[in-house]
Amino acid sequence: MKRLGILLLCFLVSMLAGGCWNQTELNRLGIVSAVAYDLDEANQWTVTYQVIIPRTSQGASGGGGSEAPVTVFSSKGRTIGEASQKKDFETPRRLFFAHTRVIILGRRAATYGVDQILDTYLRSNETRENAYILVTEGQGQDVLEVLTTMDPVPGILISSLLSGQGGRQSNLAPSRLHEFISSVTNPSQSATLSEIKVSGVQENQKSLDALKKTRSSAVLKLSRIGVFKQNRFTGWLSLKESFGIAWMTNRMKNTIVTFPCKGDGADGQLSSFFVESSRTKLKPSLSNGQLTMSVEIEAKGSLYETPCSLDLKKPETIKELNGYIQQKIKADVEQSYRAVAGMQADVLGFGDAFHRKYPQEWKQLGKSWEQEFAKIKLDVGVRVAIRRTGMINDSFSKISASVND
Amino acid sequence: MYKFMKRLAKKREYPQQHAQTDLLLPEKLSASLVQNTETIASLTGNSSDFTVRSFHGLGGMTFAVVFIDGLTDSFIVNENIVKPLMQEADAAAAGQPGGIDSFAFVKDRVLTVGSTNTIHTFTDLMSTLYGGHTVILAEGWQHGISASSSKWEQRGVEEPATQTVIRGPKEGFTENIGTNVALLRRKIKSPRLWKIDRKIGRITRTDVSVMYINGIADDTVVGEVLERLDRIDTDSILESGYLEEFIQDKTFTPFPTMINTERPDSVAAALLEGQVALLVDGTPFVLLLPITFFKFFIASEDYYQRFDISSFLRILRICAFTISMVLPSIYIAVTTYHQEMIPTTLLVSLAAQREGIPFPAFFEALMMEVTFEVLREAGVRLPRAIGSAISIVGALVLGQAAVEAGLVSAAMVIVVAFTAISSFVVPAFNIAIAARLIRFVLMFLAATMGFFGIMSGLLFLIIHMLSIRSFGVPYLAPVAPLVPGNLKDSVFRAPWWMMITRPRLISKKGSIVRQKPKPRPDRSGDESERKT
């Protein structure tokens, strides 16, 4: 029984001497939904935090409506650590980063290099590697100040914009932090990030009054694709140019392909093809020093819309349309390649493909891969199958024409 | 604490010797009737319910009938004992040739009652009196005759209040041990259902019966039970709970090592599994032993319903038991240490509820739990008429007002309420009480060390449970040690036809319920009929 007493004593001492470890009550916690990193002209870091105010971001439990659902504040410093230390002068709550969904890089910080930011992120035990990372043209903090309507917390809105749309819009760059990190650390590959931009007048969307209108004066939008070379931002790919990247990297899940239904140059009437599933194979080849990449794309889907008068019951018509779609996809892919080749940034993973197939030759190729990449001959083969035409067969214009006859 | 308890136990030895002098009785009955009646009067301190009726009867002899008012049927005493002795005995004796032995004559020819016994000592006399018998003494007899005439007020067989079922027998044990044994005899009509009686309690002389099925129950367990019963040295046993504390394997544990039940069908099923039942006079609660931890989650209804729903319900009960133990501590740990584990939207909504709550989560939970325990205890003790009033106050105070006053968060009310409801799911009430106690310890651990604390607490608990034995059977038996054959009736219940062997650790070795495979309709006959 003495043993029991000693055990009990040990138990109590370890309980009480340990104190309450790192206990934090929920109402002492500032839940950070998004962080933005900016670098000013004097190379000072500005770290901006978007902190959720639980009381007001909850519609049901009252309060909401009179106060903003989030509060945004920034702190400056020569290093990120210095900046984040200064934030404690400002906030009474312990900032909690485990729920940070979104990291936004200002253009200048991205051009300077992301090493320092990624270093702090990987070092901290509270942050998550599955947060989304985005780049913006101007200041990152401007993005965080915009109030949003569909979700009261802008950080959550941005993350659901990426996770929700990711399934449908394949022309976005992979934006998870760990994906970004793994492509930044790949010497032959260049990383890409989606752009988030404030479309409209940002000033007007900072007050809660802006939420009372049906049409917001400024909204957060996903837009172009930012290309990184190693750890530095180098340039933008437009939405049009980014389209082919998803095809080439085999990330295309669902998308709409717009194509002229009577071939190029014909009266400008455009139809849409909805891609339901697709598969891309990259086949690198090397002959006489000439690098050739053959890209084989297989896409299956359904006809989404057509204004042309088509007899879609005939297999020949479908075959013809398949051909137009193939041309369109091929053109998209080639355009994208030209754009990235111009930047000498291999965002397509071609380097890995060559490395795998020609490990011996890669020792030479790898040394000047950026130049070699730009000289690759692209050989695109597309096979498209329209599997369904939706709920009707013939186009509506044909049906209405036959009624008028 | 243990030493203190030991000291308490030692102190009890003083009144023991005193009690023994109280019970010193004159050994044998004497031939003098007056002396005998005086001895009875002095033994009972002239208690008025000890009735001594003297009269002249057979052959002008002086008789005395002694009985306890309230324990005897006055009709039997009047019609079958006093009347024959006073009026009819002389006529019957007249027909007898020669002189008669009055003692044998009265016993064999006069008393028209079910059973009679010869009484030699005052100890016998007293114990038969307490059994409701009437004792006939006469001037000149060296012995007395006891005649059965018991009848006392008792509760009828009713539906048990604590263990209700939807399907299954609705009868429950009563306070009378005779009735209880009869209920069991009616369920198991086999001479192998054996019953060993003991009288325990120096003053109360409480009847305790050990019942088991010979050949199914483990003989060593039966022996161990009897030995432990014989070792009990106390002056009173008023409920089976007394016995439980005297004979249980481990005192310092929140886990009970015996099951109590009010249901004859549960006891019958347990007996058939090789368990031993302990019946105590004066309480409807029968003790079953040895048991394992998983037996607490088995309701008798499980065997009357289909096996699939029974298995589902058992899993549900085990989950509810776990929830009733750990839910408040998990809530405390998650909201104060591991906020990263909550989905963002839920975290925001929890944080919104906690805004303006002045207390730490641990204190908040403790407050609510204590409030609930108070309400529960009040609900049990209150007169039934006020019960509904308390439940309204409880619901309003616990539920709405506390949240609106900003004392506790709404999520905490949900957690506490769900915990409370979960604790009632377990069929055995005494294990639910164990969960209640453990809950508070775990809450304290969660508040100081988060999940680490909860996990070390649960680990300690499992180690502790592994050390418990119930009459030699490991507490976590079919799982640890693993007895694959017994798993079919632990967390899951297999269909009846699959349960061929009895639980190995509890019953006698190699005990088999049935040997034939599943009975199937004779299909071959049908086919031949169809062909013709």
| Confidence at residue B10, expressed as pLDDT on a 0 to 100 scale | 58
Give me the domain span that covers residue A312: 243-405
Please report whether residue A5 resides in a domain. no
Instruction: Please indicate, yes or no, whether residues A165 and A39 belong to a single structural domain of this protein.
Output: yes
Q: Note whether A69 and A218 are same-domain residues.
A: yes
- Report the chain A residue with the minimal C-alpha distance to residue B442: A15
State the nearest Cα–Cα gap between A19 and chain B, in angstroms.
7
CA angle A87, A89, A93 (to 5 degrees): 75
- Asked if residue A13 is part of any domain, the answer here is no
Mean pLDDT on B116-120: 88
What is the pLDDT, as a whole number, of residue A165?
59
Question: Do A190 and A265 sit in the same domain of this protein?
Answer: no
Q: Which of A8, A10, A23 to mutate to test the interface with B (most CBs of B within 10 A)?
A: A23
pLDDT in tens, B158-196: 888 888 888 889 999 999 998 999 999 999 999 999 999
Residue A149: name the closest of A160, A141, A157 by CA. Answer: A157
Comparing B214 with A166, the larger pLDDT belongs to B214
Q: Which two tokens stand for residue B211?
A: 């019942």
Which range, of A242-251, B178-187, B198-207, B395-404, averages the lowest pLDDT?
Answer: B395-404
Answer with the one of A181, A216, A237 that is the final residue of a domain: A237
Q: Which residue of A has its CA nearest to B447?
A: A20
d(CA B526, CA B416): 60
CB atoms within 10 A of CB A16: 10
Averaged pLDDT of chain B? 85
Calculate the CA B294 to chain-centre distance.
18
pLDDT value at A1 more than 90? no
Q: What is the pLDDT of residue A61?
A: 43
Res. B97 pLDDT band, cuts 50 70 90: low
Percentage of the residues of chain B whose pLDDT score is greater than 90: 34
* Percent of chain B's residues with pLDDT above 70: 90
Residues A258-292 have pLDDT tens digits of 888 776 555 678 888 888 888 999 899 888 888 89
Residue of B nearest to A101 (CA): B344
Number of structural domains in chain A: 2
pLDDT range class, residue B446, cuts 50, 70, 90: very high
Rounded (5°) CA angle A306-A309-A315: 85
Closest CB to B357: pick one of A23, A27, A99: A27
3-state secondary structure of A146: coil
Write down which residue in A237, A258, A283 finishes a domain: A237
Q: Are A290 and A244 contacting, i.e. CB atoms less than 8 angstroms apart?
A: no
Q: Report the CATH number that the domain containing residue A316 is assigned in CATH.
A: 3.30.300.210
Q: What's the rounded mean pLDDT across residues A336-344? A: 89
Report the percent of chain A where pLDDT is more than 90: 13
pLDDT at B21: 45
In the prediction, which pLDDT does A60 show?
A: 45
pLDDT, tens only, B11-38: 555 544 444 444 555 678 888 888 888 8
**For residue B406, what pLDDT is reported?**
85
Residues of B in contact with A31 (CB under 8 A): 339, 344, 347-348, 351
User: How far apart (Å, rounded) are the C-alpha atoms in residues B50 and B72?
Assistant: 11
Average pLDDT over residues A352-375: 87
Q: How far apart are CA B348 and CA B342, in angstroms?
A: 9
Q: Is A101 on the interface with B (CB under 8 A)?
A: yes
Q: Are residues A222 and A318 in the same domain?
A: no
pLDDT of B106 reads 85
- Mean pLDDT over A202-223 rounds to 82
Q: Would the pLDDT of B463 be above 60?
A: yes
- Within 10 angstroms of residue A12's Cβ, the number of other Cβ atoms is 10
Give A13's contacts in chain B (Cβ within 8 Å).
Answer: none
Residues in contact with A331: Cβ distance below 8 Å, sequence separation at least 6, in sequence order: none
pLDDT exceeds cutoff 70 at A62: no
| pLDDT > 90? residue A242 | no
If asked whether residues A144 and A30 sit together in one domain, one would say yes
Least CB–CB distance from B348: residue in A4, A25, A57: A57
Q: Is the pLDDT at B304 greater than 50, yes or no? A: yes
Task: Let me know whether A373 and A268 are in one domain.
Answer: yes
The reported pLDDT for the residue numbered B58 is: 79
- Which residue's structure tokens are 């008028």? A404
Mutation site, B5, B253, B348, B442, interface A, largest A CB count within 10 A: B348
Q: Mutate which of B3, B339, B350, B403 to test chain A, going by most A C-beta atoms within 10 A?
A: B339
- Residue A16: inside a domain: no
- Chain A neighbors of B445, CB-CB under 8 A: 15
Query: Is residue A4, in this structure, part of any structural domain at all?
Result: no
Of the candidates A1, A101, A128, the beta carbon closest to that of B2 is on A1
User: How much is the pLDDT for B173?
Assistant: 94
Q: Could you tell me the CA-to-CA distances from B342 to A394, B127, B334, B336 in Å, in that order? A: 52, 68, 7, 11
- pLDDT, one tens digit per residue, over B228-284 is 999 999 999 999 999 999 999 888 889 999 999 999 999 999 999 899 999 999 999
User: In this structure, are A334 and A264 located in the same domain?
Assistant: yes
- In chain B, the residue whose alpha carbon lies closest to the alpha carbon of A63 is B352
Residue A19 is assigned to a structural domain of this protein: no
State the pairing for strand pair B286-289/B469-470: unpaired
Closest partner CB to B336 (pick from A1, A16, A24): A24
- Among A33, A54, A126, beta carbon nearest to B351: A54
**Interchain contact A21–B (C-beta under 8 A):** yes
Taking an 8 Å cut-off on Cβ atoms, the answer to whether A54 and B355 are in contact is yes
Q: What is the pLDDT of residue B16?
A: 46
Q: Which of helix, strand or coil describes residue A403?
A: helix
A195 and A300 fall within a common domain: no
Q: Please state, in angstroms and rounded to a whole number, the distance separating the CA atoms of residues B532 and A405.
A: 72
Nearest CA among B259, B257, B280, B261 for reference residue B201: B280
Instruction: Please check the confidence at residue B412 and state whether its pLDDT lies above 50.
Output: yes
Check residue A59 and give its pLDDT.
53
Q: What's the half-sphere exposure (Cβ side, CA atoms, 13 Å) at A18?
A: 19
Residue A6 inside a domain? The answer is: no
Kindly calculate the radius of gyration of chain B based on its CA atoms and give it in whole angstroms: 31
Residue spans of alpha helices (H) in B295-341: 307-336
Per-residue pLDDT tens digits for A11-50: 788 777 766 667 888 888 889 999 999 998 888 999 999 9
Task: Please give the structure tokens belonging to residue B274.
Answer: 């090789």
Whether A10 is covered by a domain: the verdict is no
Residue A105: its pLDDT value, please?
A: 92
- C-alpha to C-alpha distance for B127 and B352, rounded to whole angstroms: 71
**Residues ≥6 apart with Cβ < 8 Å to B193:** B184, B185, B211, B212, B213, B214, B271
Query: Taking a C-beta distance cutoff of 8 angstroms, is the pair B84, B113 a contact?
Result: no
CA–CA dist B234, B440 (Å, integer): 34
Closest Cα partner for A39 from A99, A115, A101?
A: A115
> CB burial class (10 A; 0-12, 13-18, 19+) of residue B228?
middle
**What ipTM, to 2 d.p.?**
0.83
pLDDT at B9: 59
Same domain? For A136 and A274 the reply is: no
Closest approach of B448 to chain A, Cα-based (Å):
5
Say whether both A49 and A181 belong to one domain. Answer: yes
| Chain B contact probe: residue of A27, A70, A150 with most B CBs at under 10 A | A27
**Rounded mean pLDDT of B112-137?**
87
Of residues B1 and A138, more confidence is placed in A138
- Summarize the confidence of residues A212-237 as an average pLDDT: 86
pLDDT of residue B516: 67
State in Å, rounded, how far the first CA of chain B is from the last one. 84
The verdict on a CB contact (< 8 Å) between A31 and B348 is yes
**How close B342 comes to chain A (CA, Å)?**
9
pLDDT tens, position by position, B321-379: 999 999 999 999 999 999 989 988 899 889 888 888 888 899 999 998 998 888 888 88
Q: A206 and A84 in one domain?
A: yes
Which of the listed residues A222, A237, A252 is the one where a domain comes to its end? A237
**Does any domain span residue A166?**
yes
Co-location of A264 and A189 in the same domain: no
Lowest mean pLDDT among A19-28, A122-131, A175-184, B437-446: A19-28
Give me the mean pLDDT over the B128-155 stretch.
Answer: 87
- The alpha carbon of residue A9 is apart from the nearest alpha carbon of chain B, in Å, by 13
